[in-house]
């Protein structure tokens, strides 16, 4: 194996290299006053603030609140997306009924529903969860629906020839064939839920990461704002990493087209 191939394999596995390089450049820019502290706090300052907020319990408590909002809203959105995707993907009548409504929903930005949800549900927890649910339902629906419709018809015909009834065809052929597309939709939904959470927690939040951001904004604490943004990013990366691991285990049999 050539040295270039070894280097390529190492860089493919060492996904931490570019983030570390960015942090080093950021720290150097802050120390050289290229990036003023009032504009963006240095990584060393951010780490110190992160330690203080963690030790005091303020960050874990607010993080737990934000995690609960994401989990609740995402569970609703994903569940609706699965049900609607199955109905539209498996039956022509379901497609004619559900898909036009979902395409209308797709053209309405989820964040544009914020004022309407505030009028409907007030400024408590409900509009925050509703925003996350409404934003995550479509990626799951579209990818599951597309995955079902893209299943090879010859596989379904072979299953029918072998005597499998409709329910067995769906369980053993159609759903496994649509699983890769569904996982892609789930990854999009997870990323979308984090993005919408950032906006949703600006709605009169009394706890959560958004509350910390508003507090830091009022007192010009750039370091706390950066800490919260980093936590949002880590949440997104952790969720995406979890799904990538599930994909690797579920589809370990598939050959990879990537070179080392």
CATH value at residue 137? 1.10.3720.10
Q: What is the extent of the structural domain holding 128?
A: 42-250
Residue 62 lies in a domain: yes
Most confident range (mean pLDDT) of 39-43, 69-73, 124-128, 197-201 is 69-73
What does the alpha-carbon distance between residue 92 and residue 81 come to, in Å, rounded to a whole number? 17
Provide the pLDDT for residue 76: 94
Q: Is 109 left (phi over 0), alpha (psi -120 to 50) or beta?
A: beta
The yes-or-no verdict on residue 66 having pLDDT over 80 is yes
179 Cβ contact partners less than 8 Å away, ≥ 6 residues apart: 147, 250
Provide the pLDDT for residue 259: 47
Instruction: Give the confidence band of 79 by pLDDT, cuts at 50, 70, 90.
Output: very high
What does the alpha-carbon distance between residue 190 and residue 94 come to, in Å, rounded to a whole number? 26
Provide the pLDDT for residue 252: 66
> 3-state DSSP call for residue 28?
helix
Closest CA to 193 of 83, 60, 71: 71
Residue 36 lies in a domain: no
The yes-or-no verdict on residue 117 having pLDDT over 60 is yes
The yes-or-no verdict on residue 253 having pLDDT over 80 is no
Residue 184 lies in a domain: yes
Instruction: Give the confidence band of 103 by pLDDT, cuts at 50, 70, 90.
Output: confident
Element (DSSP H or E) covering residue 175: helix 175-200
Residue 158 lies in a domain: yes
Residue 26 lies in a domain: no
Provide the pLDDT for residue 136: 92
Residue 27 lies in a domain: no
Per cent of the chain over pLDDT 70 is 90
Q: Tokens 């990584």 — which residue?
A: 43
Instruction: Give the confidence band of 75 by pLDDT, cuts at 50, 70, 90.
Output: very high
pTM: 0.78
**Average pLDDT of the chain to the nearest whole number:** 82
Instruction: Give the confidence band of 258 by pLDDT, cuts at 50, 70, 90.
Output: very low
Residue 223 lies in a domain: yes
Residue range 85-94: mean pLDDT, rounded: 89
Residue range 54-82: mean pLDDT, rounded: 90
Q: Is 98 left (phi over 0), alpha (psi -120 to 50) or beta?
A: alpha
Residue 81 lies in a domain: yes
Residue 191 class from Cβ within 10 Å (0-12 exposed, 13-18 middle, 19+ buried)? middle
> What is the total count of domains within the chain?
1
What tokens appear for 108 in the block?
Answer: 């309405």
The yes-or-no verdict on residue 70 having pLDDT over 60 is yes
Q: How many CB atoms lie within 10 A of CB 59?
A: 21
Residue range 58-71: mean pLDDT, rounded: 89
Provide the pLDDT for residue 9: 61
Provide the pLDDT for residue 2: 63
Provide the pLDDT for residue 6: 63
What does the alpha-carbon distance between residue 239 and residue 231 come to, in Å, rounded to a whole number? 12
Q: How many CB atoms lie within 10 A of CB 170?
A: 19
50 Cβ contact partners less than 8 Å away, ≥ 6 residues apart: 59, 227, 230
Residue range 77-88: mean pLDDT, rounded: 92
């Amino acid at each position: 194996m050539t040295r270039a191939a070894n280097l390529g394999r190492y860089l493919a596995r060492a996904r931490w290299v570019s983030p570390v390089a960015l942090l080093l450049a950021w720290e150097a820019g802050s120390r050289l006053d290229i990036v003023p502290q009032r504009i963006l706090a240095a990584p060393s300052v951010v780490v110190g603030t992160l330690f203080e907020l963690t030790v005091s319990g303020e960050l874990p408590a607010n993080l737990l609140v934000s995690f609960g909002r994401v989990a609740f809203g995402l569970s609703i959105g994903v569940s609706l997306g699965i049900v609607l995707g199955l109905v539209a993907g498996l039956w022509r009548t379901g497609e004619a009924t559900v898909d036009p409504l979902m395409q209308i929903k797709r053209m309405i930005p989820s964040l544009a529903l914020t004022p309407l949800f505030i009028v409907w549900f007030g400024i408590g927890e409900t509009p925050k969860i509703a925003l996350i649910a409404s934003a995550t339902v479509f990626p799951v629906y579209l990818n599951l629906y597309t995955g079902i419709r893209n299943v090879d018809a010859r596989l379904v015909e072979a299953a029918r020839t072998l005597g499998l009834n409709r329910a067995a065809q769906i369980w053993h052929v159609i759903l496994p064939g649509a699983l890769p597309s569904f996982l892609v939709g789930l990854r999009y939904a997870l990323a979308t839920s984090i993005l919408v959470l950032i906006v949703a927690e600006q709605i009169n939040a009394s706890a959560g990461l958004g509350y910390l951001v508003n507090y830091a904004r009022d007192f010009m604490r750039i370091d706390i704002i950066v800490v919260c943004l980093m936590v949002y990013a880590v949440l997104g990366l952790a969720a995406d990493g979890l799904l990538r691991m599930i994909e690797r285990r579920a589809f370990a049999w598939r050959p990879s087209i990537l070179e080392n």
